[in-house]
Amino acid sequence: MLKIENLNVHYGKIHALNDVSIEVPDKSVITIVGSNGAGKSTLLRSVAGLVKLSGGRITFDGKSIEQLPPHKRVKAGIVLTPEGRRVFPKMTVRENIALGAFTRSKSELQGVEETAFSMFPRLKDRYNQLAGTLSGGEQQMLAIARSMASKPKLLLLDEPSMGLAPNMVDVVESAINYIRDQGVSILIVEQNIFMAFDVSDFGYVIQTGNIVLSGKSCELANVEMVKKAYLGEIKE
């Protein structure tokens, strides 16, 4: 479904992504784990069209998308839930969800709220509450629900577990499984390697802009191996 080949991104002199190649097959959950500043957000933002590439190819559903502006990528089915659970604080839960659906036709709107509430029943109780007054965990739920309202084919999740209590991480993990069951592919970047490998089929480890390790998630979850990558012991 998504194929990234030899992607390079520079911010001035910083080489944020160096020849990164990854694939997200149809109906799969793929993860990229890495520590602070490794290039995880840059990679997702590149797929969403928010970063200028200095080289490489991105193919989605068999078509090259490097030239597509961000809103056309959303229309094509690529939706990003950015880092830091951004919601519109002065708008209600309901209005936030409706905003996610703005690129879709009226007929497509049906079921959007039901999907949100079956994923996160707690949001239903907070339907008319201002998003800014939700707890951190609830705001993450809302951010994901809003992305789902855009009816993605491919959902890009930027550190959905960041800053959440363990029980909230479990809620997010269940939501990811629910979304996968809807036939949506997911590319998730995380520092929480346990959560990431638990929910995904295949994973990559990124270190200062380079993919240093990849494999089936159940194998990568072999902590020793990944710890090595984290401690920088794996050289290119």
Interface residues with ligand ATP (CB under 6 A) are 11, 14, 16, 34, 36-42, 83, 191
Q: Which stretch binds Mg ion (CB under 5 A): 39-47, 112-120, 168-176, 194-202?
A: 39-47
Q: Which of ligand ATP, Mg ion, none interacts with 140 (beta carbon under 5 to 8 A by kind)?
A: none
**42's tokens:** 């840059």
Strands 14-24 and 2-11 come out as antiparallel
**2's tokens:** 């998504």
Q: Which of residues 48-107 bind Mg ion (CB under 5 A)?
A: 83
Binding residue for Mg ion (CB under 5 A) from 41, 96, 115, 161? 41
DSSP H or E stretch at residue 19: strand 14-24
Count of residues engaged in binding Mg ion, rule: CB under 5 A: 3
Cβ-defined contacts of 50-54 (< 8 Å, 24+): 50/80, 51/9, 52/9, 53/7, 53/8, 53/9, 54/8, 54/9, 54/10
Nearest alpha-carbon partner for 30 in 68, 73, 1 = 1
Q: Which of Mg ion, ligand ATP, none interacts with 42 (beta carbon under 5 to 8 A by kind)?
A: ligand ATP
Least gap, CB of 102 to Mg ion (angstroms)? 25
Q: Which stretch binds Mg ion (CB under 5 A): 36-44, 87-95, 174-182, 220-228?
A: 36-44
Is 31 among the residues that bind Mg ion (CB under 5 A)? no
Q: What single letter denotes the amino acid at residue 203? A: G
Binding site for Mg ion (CB under 5 A): 40-41, 83
